[in-house]
Structures are given as C-alpha cells and as structure tokens.
Amino acid sequence: MITETDLHGKITYVNRLFIQMSGYEKEELIGKPHSLIRHPDMPQCCFKSMWESVERGYPWEGYVKNLRKDGAFYWVVVTVTPKYDEKGTLCGYIAVRKPPGELTLQEIKRKYTEMMKEEVCRKEGSEYFSEALERMH
C-alpha cells in the first residue's frame, strides 16, 4: 500500500491496494490531508517522531493504526521516506505500508495503550497546573 504527499501532508498519490484497504475512492483522497486516515487511538508522539525524522531527510518506520472510511481500523507497518525532485529539493513524502506480524502487533497495541495513557496524564497534569496558575492571579 503506497501513498505520496506534498510537503504539507496533502495526498498526491494513492495506489489501488491503499484505496481498497482504506475504503475511500481515489477522488476522496487526492488533495486531502493524510491525517484523514489517522486513528484517534494513535499516540501523538509517534507522528511527532515521524515528522522530526522525515523533515531532516531521514526515513521513519513504525506501526500505525489507520482509520477506514467506514470507521473500522487496520494496522500497518509503515516506512515514510522523503521524496526529492530532480534538483535534489525535498518535495514530499512517500509512505509504504505492509501488514504487521501478529506477535509484534500485540506488543505494539500494549505499548501504544500505555503511551496514550501517559499523554492523557501529561495533558491533564498540564491543564491542572494551568488552572492552578490562573486561580493564583
């Protein structure tokens, strides 16, 4: 399953297998933000790590839970690499996906659940701290 995006994360290319897996038509994907298929259960730090890597010109590989058009989800191992034009200028990104192994997937699900809980706790802690500061003033 392959997608390509521009520098802003807008989808510029999807292959047939990606269309089938996502449940969208090609016309519904081209020009849309790639975050369209981002499942809300995904820890934000995964995408932060990905962007930090690819914006510096390095590939990134990870396990991602994607959201289908019908609301169902699917897991993939994705490798995102920078795409360069003929002058060597960064012009977008290419993502190649494959199904994960079942044993690895179980471990990833457990780890991502922990990461999501940590993100919620940090957010709640940050909000509590901000509210406490506001009450002091």
The pTM for the full model equals 0.72
pLDDT at position 110: 79
Q: Which two tokens stand for residue 21?
A: 């897996």
CA distance 131 to 125: 10
Domain chopping of the chain, boundaries = 2-101
CATH of the domain spanning 2-101, picked from 1.10.4160.10, 3.30.450.20, 3.30.530.20, 3.40.50.1100: 3.30.450.20
Query: Residue 14 to residues 18, 30, 39: CA-CA distances in angstroms?
Result: 6, 8, 18
17-60 confidence digits (pLDDT tens): 999 999 999 999 999 999 999 988 877 777 788 888 888 889 98
